[in-house]
A and B are shown apart, each in its own frame.
Chain A
Amino acid sequence: MSQDILKGKAFVLGKNIDTDQIIPAQHLVYSLNDPEERKFYGRYALSGTPSEESGLPQGNIPLVEDDAFESEFKIIVGGPNFGCGSSREHAPAALQIAGIQAIVSPSYARIFYRNSVDGGFVIPYESLEDLSKEVHTNDELEIHKNENVLKNITQNKTYKLKALGSVEDIVEAGGIFEYARKMGMVPKNEKVAS
Chain B
Amino acid sequence: MSMTLTEKILAKHSGRSMVDPGETVWIDVDVLMTHDVCGPPTISIFHKEFGEEARVWDKDKLVIIPDHYIFTNDKYANRNVDILRAFAAEQTLPNYYDVGTDRYKGVCHVALPEEGYTRPGEVLFGTDSHTCTAGAFGQFATGIGNTDAAFIMGTGKLWVKVPETMRFEFEGDHLPPYIMAKDIILKVIGDIGVDGATYRTMEFAGPGIKALDIESRMTLTNMVIEAGGKNGVVEPDAKTEEYVNQRTEVSYELVHSDPDASYHSVYHYNLEEMVPMVAKPHSPDNKATAAELEGTPLTRAYIGSCTGGKLSDFKAAAEIIQGHDLAIDTFIVPATTEVANGLSTEKINGQTLKEIFEGAGCKIGRASCAACLGGPEDTFGRLNGKEVCISTTNRNFPGRMGSKDSEVYLASPYTVAASAVTGKITDPRQFIN
- Residue numbers of A with Cβ under 8 A of B are 16, 18, 20-21, 24-26, 28-33, 37, 48-50, 80-81, 84-90, 92, 107-111, 114-115, 118-119, 166, 175-177, 180, 185-186, 189, 191-193
User: Separation in Å of the B282 CB from the closest CB of chain A?
Assistant: 8
Within 8 A of A (CB), among B184-225: 194-195, 198-199, 225
- What is the CA–CA distance of A13 and B391 in the complex, to the nearest angstrom? 28
The residue of chain B having its C-beta at the shortest distance from the C-beta of A29 within the complex is: B76
User: Separation in Å of the B346 CB from the closest CB of chain A?
Assistant: 31
In terms of DSSP, what is the predominant structure of the interface of chain A?
loop
Is B148 touching A114 in the complex (CB atoms < 8 A)?
yes
User: Separation in Å of the B210 CB from the closest CB of chain A?
Assistant: 29
User: Separation in Å of the B135 CB from the closest CB of chain A?
Assistant: 15
The residue of chain B having its C-beta at the shortest distance from the C-beta of A191 within the complex is: B51
Judge whether B337 is part of the interface by a CB distance below 8 angstroms: no
B-chain residues with CB within 8 Å of residue A88 when the two chains form the complex: 37-38, 145
6 further A-B contacts with Cβ under 8 Å, apart from A29-B77, A84-B194, are A31-B41, A32-B44, A84-B228, A87-B127, A110-B230, A191-B51
B-chain residues with CB within 8 Å of residue A114 when the two chains form the complex: 144-145, 148
- What is the CA–CA distance of A21 and B282 in the complex, to the nearest angstrom? 12
Known: A28-B37, A29-B80, A89-B146. A20 touches B51 (CB 8 A): no
- What is the CA–CA distance of A31 and B79 in the complex, to the nearest angstrom? 10
A-chain residues with CB within 8 Å of residue B69 when the two chains form the complex: 29
Known: A32-B44, A86-B129, A89-B38. A119 touches B397 (CB 8 A): no
Is B373 touching A32 in the complex (CB atoms < 8 A)?
no
Is B148 touching A176 in the complex (CB atoms < 8 A)?
yes
A-chain residues with CB within 8 Å of residue B404 when the two chains form the complex: 48, 50
- Residue numbers of B with Cβ under 8 A of A are 24, 37-38, 40-41, 44, 47-52, 69, 74, 76-77, 79-80, 126-129, 131, 143-148, 151, 154-155, 157, 159, 161, 194-195, 198-199, 225, 228, 230, 283, 373-377, 395, 397-400, 404
User: Separation in Å of the B92 CB from the closest CB of chain A?
Assistant: 22
The residue of chain A having its C-beta at the shortest distance from the C-beta of B77 within the complex is: A29
Is B147 touching A175 in the complex (CB atoms < 8 A)?
yes
B38, B145, B395, B398 interface centre (most CB from chain A within 10 Å): B145
- What is the CA–CA distance of A43 and B49 in the complex, to the nearest angstrom? 27
Known: A26-B376, A29-B76. A21 touches B399 (CB 8 A): yes
- What is the CA–CA distance of A30 and B76 in the complex, to the nearest angstrom? 6
Is A86 touching B373 in the complex (CB atoms < 8 A)?
yes
Q: Pick the contact of B24 from A84, A107, A166, A186 — CB < 8 Å? A: A166
Is B228 touching A81 in the complex (CB atoms < 8 A)?
yes
User: Separation in Å of the B145 CB from the closest CB of chain A?
Assistant: 3
- What is the CA–CA distance of A40 and B286 in the complex, to the nearest angstrom? 33
The residue of chain B having its C-beta at the shortest distance from the C-beta of A80 within the complex is: B195
A-chain residues with CB within 8 Å of residue B145 when the two chains form the complex: 87-89, 92, 111, 114-115, 118-119
Known: A25-B373, A110-B228, A186-B49. A81 touches B195 (CB 8 A): yes
Is A177 touching B198 in the complex (CB atoms < 8 A)?
no
User: Separation in Å of the A54 CB from the closest CB of chain B?
Assistant: 11
B-chain residues with CB within 8 Å of residue A176 when the two chains form the complex: 147-148, 151, 159
The residue of chain A having its C-beta at the shortest distance from the C-beta of B228 within the complex is: A109
12 A-B interface contacts by CB (under 8 A): A16-B283, A18-B395, A20-B373, A81-B198, A84-B194, A88-B38, A88-B145, A89-B41, A111-B129, A111-B144, A114-B148, A177-B49
Known: A29-B77, A111-B129, A118-B145. A50 touches B398 (CB 8 A): yes
User: Separation in Å of the A55 CB from the closest CB of chain B?
Assistant: 16
Is A107 touching B41 in the complex (CB atoms < 8 A)?
no
A16, A25, A166 interface centre (most CB from chain B within 10 Å): A25
Q: Pick the contact of B155 from A49, A185, A191 — CB < 8 Å? A: A185
- What is the CA–CA distance of A134 and B230 in the complex, to the nearest angstrom? 30
B-chain residues with CB within 8 Å of residue A189 when the two chains form the complex: 49-51
Is A29 touching B74 in the complex (CB atoms < 8 A)?
yes
Is B127 touching A110 in the complex (CB atoms < 8 A)?
no
